[in-house]
Structure formats: structure tokens, C-alpha cells
Amino acid sequence: MSTENTLVIVMKPDASVGQIANVTARVQQIGARVHLSEGEEQTIIGVIGNGSPINCEQIQSLAGVERTVPITRPFKLASREFHPQDTVVPVNGLQVGGRRLTVMAGPCAVESREQILETARIVKAAGGHALRGGAFKPRTSPYSFQGMGEKGLRLLAEARQVTGLPIITEVISPEHVPLVTTYADILQIGARNMQNYALLHAVGAAQRPVMLKRGMMSTIEELLMAAEYILSHGNERVILCERGIRTFEKYTRNTLDISAVPLLKQLSHLPVIVDPSHATGSWELVIPVARAAIAAGADGIIVEVHPNPAEALSDGAQSLKPERFTELMASLDAIATAVGRTL
């Protein structure tokens, strides 16, 4: 007898609605959770056991079932096997994932009303799709600018109202999740918090899209296991972000792991965004690296843009001036087309 704890049930292409309902009911009877994925050709039923083994032969014998496939990887809900189609994350009118690329841009941190409104207008005018800006900043030094807090969130909401751009902002502690959720369209989990499990549980329960950044010393499997924490709460709106990892190289802030992009797309169904700003730490490198990310199959980019980088309170060296951001946007069209995407 073959038993598994996590598996997918592939239904026959001609399986009836009644057969699908019957299989679902049988699986639920044994205490397992069901995740239905209705494709154009076939329905796939993902099954997460409650710990007790599931008898695959018994399921295989049910009417309408074509085959069962065990999920042997440590990450289950995040795996491509569990969910063969690309996940598209709906974000307040925007869709992250799918054919259309997503460009999120804005300052590292919200610094003032003028700064965030001006940047939002620049991002919008250049064709960006979402506005980024940190209100709670996880700084390496406790003496560095820590962000404007709730005031910054209110300014982001005002910028959204003016431009219509959805906003993405970081949440750094579980107790801030309810507050940040009332303002943000996407909750950002920063690299330093990728394995902050209390925070992952909290954003999993938040029912808001979450962008999870890869930790600077984390493997791809660790990133996907962190995503699994959020998914396991029933929050399926998870976006992955490659933002560079720490290596021996000193000329760049981090080293962009470009192969993580196609690899994550193979291993997982979740959208993948690349952050060329934190990956390189230097504005001169941001444009070529952003282009490379799109060419490699990323679903979009998140880029730091500041009206006056020389005066930025954080990450000025890696922030694009408005005209450079406009130049980047104009050049992405051709690359998007070359890889079968649109902007």
C-alpha cells in the first residue's frame, strides 16, 4: 500500500463535476485539506494530510481519477507539482504574475509628503505599476533613520489616492501587521526577516498579498520553506523576491543570483520579482541588472527611485534619478517582447 501525506490528484480530462466533488469529499472525510486547481484541460486536487497517511491506491480507484502524484519536496503548497499553473496574485486592480510584467518603484523610505508625492507622480508618469516606500525600516545600525512609521503609511495612502498606484511597504514585526495591513496593498517581508517565523505566521493570517524577500544568506529551499509558512495559513497571495545574496564580492552590495529566477519558476508556481537596487547597491548597475532580470524570466522588478538621491535618508547610492527610471522603463518594452511578455 502506498501512503503519502501530501499529494496531488490529477482528474481525467472528462471527469464530471460530480466525480470531482466526490473525490474532494472523500479526501476531506479523512481530515485532509483540499486545494482545487481547475485548469483548462484538467482539474488537479491538491491534498495536504493532517499527519495520518493517505492511502493512494484507494484514491486512485475513485471514479474520474487519472493518477495521484506524491509531493516529495519539503515545500508543498509552494511547489510547482502541487499547483502546475503560474499563480497570478491580484493586488488592488493590478495582477502580479502572468504575461504582463509588474514594475514597483519608489524610494527606499518615505521621507516627507513632498518626496513621496513627487516620486509617486514620477513612477506613474514613467509607466510604473506600484509604489514602494518603507515606513518601518530595518536598518543595520540603530542610529540610522528608522522610517516615519504610521505617518509614512498615511503619506503612502495619500500618494495612492493621488496616482492610483497600489502601495507596497515593509512590515518588520508581528504586532505591526494589523496597522500596516490597513494601509498597504502588498506587505513586504524584508531579507532580514525572511525567517522571522512569528512575522510569517502573522502575514499568513493577514489575508493581504505578501512579497517575501530572500534572506541575504538563505538558500532557495529556505526561501520556499518561508513562503510555505505564509501559504499554510491559507494566504495564497505570495510573491517571491530575489534581492541578491551575500558573497565574497565587495564591489557590489550583494550578488544577484540570476539563476534563482528560472529555478524558482521551475520549482514553484509563485510570481518572482527581482530587486536590482539591493542586489547591486549602485545605481550605475541597476538598469543593466533590471534588464537581465526580465530577460531571465522574472515577473517584474522592484526598483528604488528618488527625486534627489544625493539627499536620500537611506540607500541614495542605489537609487535611480527620475530620468534614469524613465529611461529604464522605455527600454524594458523590447526585452519584454523578446521573452513573450508585455509591460
Phi (first) and psi of residue 52, to 5 degrees: -80, 140
Asked whether position 315 contacts Mn ion by CB under 5 A, the answer is: yes
Q: Closest CB to Mn ion among 7 and 108?
A: 108
Residue among 108, 211, 270, 303 that touches Mn ion (CB under 5 A): 108
Phi, psi torsion values for 241, nearest 5 degrees:
-135, 120
Cβ proximity to ligand PEP, 4 vs 111, nearer residue = 111
CB 10 to Mn ion: min, Å = 43
- In the bound complex, what is the minimum distance in angstroms from residue 128's beta carbon to ligand PEP? 15
Binding piece for Mn ion, criterion CB under 5 A, among 43-51, 108-116, 141-149, 183-191:
108-116
Q: Identify which of residues 44 and 293 has a Cβ nearer to Mn ion in the complex.
A: 293
Backbone angles phi, psi at 194, to 5 degrees: -55, -35
191 binds, among Mn ion, ligand PEP, none (CB under 5 to 8 A by kind): ligand PEP
Please spell the DSSP secondary structure of 36-55, one letter per residue. EEE-SS-EEEEEE--SS-EE
Q: Which does 213 bind (CB under 5 to 8 A by kind): ligand PEP, Mn ion, none?
A: ligand PEP
Shortest Å distance, C-beta 201 to ligand PEP: 19
Instruction: Give me the DSSP letters along 176-202.
Output: GHHHHHHH-SEEEEPGGGTT-HHHHHH
Residues of this chain that bind ligand PEP (CB under 6 A): 108, 134, 138, 190-192, 213, 243, 275, 278
Nearest to 187 by CA among 147, 241, 253: 241
Give CA–CA dist 269/266, Å, rounded: 8
**From its phi and psi, is residue 180 left (phi > 0), alpha (psi between -120 and 50) or beta?**
alpha
Q: Which residues pair with 6 in a beta bridge?
A: 48
27/210 with CB nearer ligand PEP = 210
How many residues in the shown chain lie near Mn ion by CB under 5 A?
2
- The β-bridge relationship of strands 43-48 and 33-38 is antiparallel
208 binds, among ligand PEP, Mn ion, none (CB under 5 to 8 A by kind): none
Kindly indicate which of the ranges 35-43, 103-111, 186-194, 252-260 contains the residues binding Mn ion, using the contact rule CB under 5 A. 103-111
**Rounded distance, CA 343 to CA 10, Å?**
34
Shortest gap between Cβ of 132 and ligand PEP (angstroms)?
A: 7
* Sites of contact with Mn ion (CB under 5 A): 108, 315
